[in-house]
Amino acid sequence: MSFKDLTLPEIMIAELYKNSLVLSNITPKDLTAAPDTHPVENSHPPQTNTLFQYLGTNLKKVAVIVSYPDDVYLPEAHLTFLISVLKACQLTIADIAIINIARQRIVFDDLKNSLGSDKIIFFEVQPTEVQIDLELSYYLLRSYHELTLLHIPSLEKVNQNNEEGKLNKSKLWLCLKELFSIE
């Protein structure tokens, strides 16, 4: 695959050019207004940890583990779906760290110590793939070394427009409500 054929998700393009894109709806009055002293929370670019790369800012200490050998993080359709799930949980991509283990080696100690994660969501990936000595069933929250783990089928299976997809989405929602204490 050459760079000519590479298609980036809109969210990544916006983040790459956030300081250089021209906004056409800015008026001269907007330019003279006092600057906002609060940081703007937009989607965040990929982060480089000293040990591994992840997408997001990890503000809520939630690691999302995926495995996509042909993608830097995950396919655009799955990222869009994941963003909508996060929004339903009143979270953004800035609150999580998406880690593609197909592109880099990650171990439990990295997740716990470097990221400080207290919640880990595995999409199809078994915890044993990051050296957590625990097999998980789908849709079952488990505690492990002061962390909460959740194993979900692949985003392909959850994001289907059929009966199986609807069932998977409802099971995912029930787990996320418990994981994030959503009323």
pLDDT at 113: 85
Is the model's pLDDT at 170 over the cut of 60? yes
Helix-strand-coil percent breakdown of the chain, rounded to 5?
35, 15, 50
DSSP, res 155 = H
C-alpha dihedral, 75 to 82 to 114 to 140, nearest 10°: -120
| Range of the structural domain that residue 21 is part of | 3-179
Least confident of 32-36, 49-53, 54-58, 157-161: 32-36
CA distance 115 to 53: 11
Q: What is the mean pLDDT of the chain?
A: 81
Instruction: Give 14's pLDDT tier (boundaries 50, 70, 90).
Output: low
At 66-88, the pLDDT tens digits run: 999 999 999 999 999 999 999 99
120-177-85 Cα angle (round to 5): 70
CATH number of the domain enclosing 132:
3.40.470
Q: Is the pLDDT of residue 60 over 90?
A: yes
Share of the chain above pLDDT 90, in %: 61
- What tokens appear for 34 in the block? 């006092």
Q: How many CB atoms lie within 10 A of CB 137?
A: 7
What is the tally of structural domains in the chain? 1
